[in-house]
């Protein structure tokens, strides 16, 4: 029963399943039919729209063709009108050009006619000039013959050739011109001297008022104060060992006399004297005085003095605004701090010369910096003239060139004592400033009596020879100028005289540096026009 019921249920389910399948199939067919109908309707609509669009496109195409045809016609008409207008303008321009060409042709034709007339006139004038030129040549030949006859007659009468007469006439003219030139030169020289002296006095007075530098007159001795007289014995040492060591190392003479509580140091070299003074002061302060200690303190004192000289050189250059000075040259410049000339401190003197030269340069419109630099270095050779042969000028020139100074500065150093002529304004200013600084009252300690005696002795030596007209000791005794009688001395005798005077000066006088002897032999002729 169960099996039958199961079979019945399955058959029933199968029957119902077939019915559902058939039903679903009908529904599917219905849906497809509906879709087909809808598609057909839409296709019909699309076809209708397409036909409409095709008709509209054909209509627009026809309208475009009509507009295109109209525009072509309109453009063609405008182009024809423009072409006609351009042709008209071109014709007008052509007519104007032709008119201008015709006018120019007429003008050129008139100018050609005028030029032809002028050429004809010039040709006529040239013919007349050639004719006159030929006449002049004929007259010139005639005059030349006449002049030749006259010259021959003059030569016959005066017994003088043509060249001789010409030379005599030229010589006479030269003499007259030379006389007039000399007279004008003298008049101008007098005017220039009067004006220059007045102006130079004014400038120098102004500069000297602005430049006021205290000068301390140096001597050849230094005094070291002692705490007591017992220190003298310690400085001398056992059997004089200490004092011998000091004098040997420093090169300074120690004078220990009855002067209470003082030791005198004597030397013409201020650097050595300063080193010795500092050494003794340090030894006194330390209390240990023996040869080994003296050597140690001496080396330290020497280095301190070298540092002091370098600092003084740098300070001098900085105070004067002088830059780019060689370090070695600056150190050498600092040595002048302990160098004296006739009792005048050379570094202070150089600073003063630099300041005066700089202010003079400002007054005259010259290079103030260059003048100050040349003034500061003008006596640089005095820093080494104790150690090397040669004058301080020669040594200064060598130092300046060695350390790259410009030739203008070198020339100023070389010319400040007239060893060479001062060819630049800066050199002349340094020379003047040096004279002003050295010539101030109280600047130098050299006594007047010694100075006068040396000058008199120089002149006496020169005047002791026969045939001497006069002699002068110039340049502070650095040069002797001897004027001789030209009829007594010839050139060879003048040279021998200079050598003899030099020999006597070397044998009889003591002097610093060098003395130049110049013998002048000349003949002067003076005429006065009344």
Supply the CATH number for residue 369's domain.
3.30.1370.10
Residues 238 and 373 in one domain: yes
The helix or strand, by DSSP H or E, that contains position 196, with its residue range, turns out to be: helix 162-210
Give me the pLDDT at residue 191, please. 66
- Beta-sheet pairing, 340-341 with 262-266: unpaired
The helix or strand, by DSSP H or E, that contains position 159, with its residue range, turns out to be: none
Residues 415 and 452 in one domain: no
Question: Which pair of tokens denotes residue 465?
Answer: 């020879």
Q: State the Cα–Cα distance between residues 378 and 371, nearest whole angstrom.
A: 10
Residues 336 and 481 in one domain: no
Give me the pLDDT at residue 49, please. 77
Domain boundary among 409, 439, 469: 439
Strand partners, 484: 468, 521
CB atoms under 10 Å from CB of 480, counted, come to 24
Q: State the Cα–Cα distance between residues 250 and 245, nearest whole angstrom.
A: 8
Q: Which are the contacts of 300, defined by CB distance < 8 A and separation ≥ 6?
A: 282
- Find, among 94, 35, 102, 349, the residue nearest to 214 by Cα: 349
Q: Are 216 and 348 in contact (CB under 8 A)?
A: yes
Identify the domain containing residue 502 by its residue range: 448-521
149 assigned to some structural domain? no
Give, for all 530 residues of the chain, the pLDDT tens digit: 566 666 666 666 666 666 777 778 878 888 888 888 888 888 777 778 777 777 777 888 878 888 888 888 888 888 888 888 888 888 888 888 888 888 888 888 888 888 888 888 888 888 888 888 888 888 778 777 777 776 676 666 665 666 776 777 677 777 777 677 667 766 666 666 666 555 555 555 455 444 444 444 445 567 888 888 788 888 888 888 888 888 877 877 788 877 777 888 876 667 788 888 888 888 888 888 888 888 898 899 889 888 888 888 888 888 888 888 888 888 888 888 877 766 677 888 888 888 888 888 888 888 888 888 988 888 888 887 666 777 888 888 888 888 888 898 888 888 888 778 888 888 888 888 887 777 654 445 444 456 667 777 888 888 888 888 878 776 667 778 888 888 888 877 888 888 888 888 888 887 766 788 888 887 666 667 76
CATH number, domain with residue 453: 3.30.300.30
242 assigned to some structural domain? yes
| Integer Rg of the chain from CA | 60
Residues 225 and 366 in one domain: yes
Strands in 246-306 per DSSP E = 253-255, 262-266
- Find, among 293, 281, 287, the residue nearest to 249 by Cα: 293
CB atoms under 10 Å from CB of 330, counted, come to 21
Give me the pLDDT at residue 440, please. 56
Residues 312 and 459 in one domain: no
Q: Are 425 and 364 in contact (CB under 8 A)?
A: yes
Query: Which residue pairs, CB below 8 angstroms and at least 24 apart, start in 486-489?
Result: 486/521, 486/522, 486/523, 489/519, 489/521
267 assigned to some structural domain? yes
Q: Are 250 and 391 in contact (CB under 8 A)?
A: no
193 assigned to some structural domain? no
3-state secondary structure 303-345: HHHHHHHHHHHHHHHHHCCCCCCCHHHHHHHHHHHHCEECCEE
- Beta-sheet pairing, 221-225 with 262-266: antiparallel
Domain boundary among 439, 462, 495: 439
354 assigned to some structural domain? yes
At 340, give phi and psi (nearest 5°).
Answer: -120, 155
Q: Please, what is the end-to-end C-alpha distance for the chain in angstroms?
A: 194
Residues 419 and 465 in one domain: no
The helix or strand, by DSSP H or E, that contains position 503, with its residue range, turns out to be: helix 491-508
Residues 273 and 422 in one domain: yes
Q: How many CA atoms lie within 13 A of 165 on its CB side?
A: 11
Give me the pLDDT at residue 125, please. 83
What's the structural domain count of the chain? 2
Give me the pLDDT at residue 217, please. 41
Strand partners, 224: 263
528 assigned to some structural domain? no
Residues 281 and 244 in one domain: yes
Give me the pLDDT at residue 233, please. 83
Domain boundary among 439, 456, 491: 439
Q: What share of the chain is helix, strand, coil (3-state, %, to 5)?
A: 75, 5, 20
43 assigned to some structural domain? no
The helix or strand, by DSSP H or E, that contains position 484, with its residue range, turns out to be: strand 479-484
Q: Are 301 and 275 in contact (CB under 8 A)?
A: yes
Q: State the Cα–Cα distance between residues 430 and 422, nearest whole angstrom.
A: 10
Residues 230 and 277 in one domain: yes
């Amino acid at each position: 029963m169960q099996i039958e019921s199961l079979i019945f249920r399955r058959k029933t389910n199968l029957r119902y399943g077939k019915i559902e399948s058939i039903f679903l199939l009908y529904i599917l067919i219905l849906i497809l039919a509906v879709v087909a109908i809808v598609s057909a309707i839409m296709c019909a609509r699309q076809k209708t729209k397409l036909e409409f669009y095709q008709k509209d496109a054909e209509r627009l195409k026809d309208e475009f063709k009509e507009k295109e045809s109209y525009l072509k016609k309109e453009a063609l008409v405008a182009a024809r009108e423009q072409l006609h207008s351009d042709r008209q303008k071109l014709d007008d321009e052509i007519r104007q050009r032709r008119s201008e060409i015709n006018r120019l042709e007429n003008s050129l034709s008139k100018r050609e006619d005028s030029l032809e007339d002028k050429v004809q006139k010039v040709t006529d004038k040239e013919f007349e000039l050639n004719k006159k030129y030929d006449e002049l040549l004929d007259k010139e030949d005639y005059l030349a013959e006449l002049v030749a006859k006259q010259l021959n007659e003059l030569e016959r009468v005066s017994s003088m050739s043509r060249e001789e007469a010409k030379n005599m006439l030229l010589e006479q003219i030269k003499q007259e011109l030379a006389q007039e030139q000399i007279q004008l030169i003298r008049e101008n020289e007098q005017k220039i001297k009067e004006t220059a002296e007045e102006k130079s006095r004014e400038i120098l007075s102004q500069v000297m008022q602005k430049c006021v530098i205290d000068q301390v007159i140096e001597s050849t001795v230094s005094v070291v104060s002692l705490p007591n007289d017992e220190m003298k014995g310690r400085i001398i040492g056992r059997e004089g060992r200490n004092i011998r060591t000091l004098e040997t190392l420093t090169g300074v003479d120690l004078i220990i006399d009855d002067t209470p509580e003082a030791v005198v140091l004597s030397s013409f070299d201020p650097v050595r004297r300063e080193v010795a003074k500092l050494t003794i002061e340090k030894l006194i302060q330390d209390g240990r005085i023996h040869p080994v200690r003296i050597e140690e303190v001496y080396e330290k004192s020497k280095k301190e003095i070298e540092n002091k000289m370098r600092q003084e050189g740098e300070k001098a250059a900085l105070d004067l605004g002088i830059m780019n000075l060689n370090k070695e040259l600056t150190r050498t410049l600092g040595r002048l701090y302990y160098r004296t000339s006739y009792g005048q401190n050379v570094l202070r003197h150089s600073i003063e010369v630099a300041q005066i030269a700089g202010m003079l340069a400002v007054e005259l419109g010259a290079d103030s910096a260059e003048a100050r630099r040349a003034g500061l270095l003008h006596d640089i050779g005095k820093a080494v003239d104790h150690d090397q042969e040669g004058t301080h000028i020669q040594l200064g020139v060598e130092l300046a060139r060695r350390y790259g100074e410009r030739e203008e500065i070198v020339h100023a150093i070389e010319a400040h004592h007239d060893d060479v002529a001062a060819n630049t304004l800066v050199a002349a200013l340094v020379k003047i400033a040096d004279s002003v600084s050295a010539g101030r009252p109280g600047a130098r300690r050299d006594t007047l009596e010694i100075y006068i005696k040396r000058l008199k002795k120089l002149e006496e030596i020169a005047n002791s020879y026969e045939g001497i007209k006069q002699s002068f000791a110039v340049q502070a005794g650095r040069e002797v100028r001897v004027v001789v009688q030209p009829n007594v001395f010839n050139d060879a005798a003048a040279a021998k005289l200079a050598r003899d005077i030099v020999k006597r000066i070397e044998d009889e006088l003591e002097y610093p540096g060098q003395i130049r002897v110049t013998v002048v032999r000349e003949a002067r002729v003076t005429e006065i026009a009344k």
